[in-house]
Amino acid sequence: MPSKNDLSAFKSTKQETAILPVKPVAREDRQELVETRAETSTKTKPKTIGRPKKPAAEKRDCKITLSLTKAEGAVIREKAGIAADAAYLYQVLEKAGAFR
């Protein structure tokens, strides 16, 4: 029984051989092959993954820091419930007409 660190069980018994061309290719021919491959390959824009970006008008870039006492922060968290504190404050400011 092999030891627990013996990796020989994972080795393949068959030797893999490299695939070589039937006849050697001249240096000039190799350069032509490279050039034709470069011409045939078209560079395409990679597809983006995820949701599309927001338009610049809808993006919220401006950050405002607000300092509150612990008691005031607790009241905001209680009123916000499961929503984020910033989302709750944004809604309150929007209802108050702060963005008009």
87 vs 69: CA distance, rounded Å: 19
What is the SS3 assignment for the chain?
CCCCCCCHHHCCCCCCCCCCCCCCCCHHHHHHHHHHHHHHCCCCCCCCCCCCCCCCCCCCCCCCCCCCCHHHHHHHHHHHCCCCHHHHHHHHHHHCCCCC
| Residue 13 within a domain | no
Q: Is residue 98 part of a domain?
A: yes
Query: So what's the pLDDT on residue 77?
Result: 95
| Residue 27, in any domain of the structure | no
Please give the tally of structural domains in the chain. Answer: 1
Higher pLDDT, 35 or 9: 9
Q: Which two tokens stand for residue 72?
A: 């005031």
| pLDDT of amino acid 7 | 75
Residues 65-90 have a mean pLDDT of 95
Structural domain range at position 96: 61-100
Percent share of the chain, pLDDT over 70: 64
In this structure, is residue 67 part of a structural domain? Answer: yes
Residue at 78 is within a domain:
yes
44 — pLDDT class (breaks 50, 70, 90): low
Asked if residue 73 is part of any domain, the answer here is yes
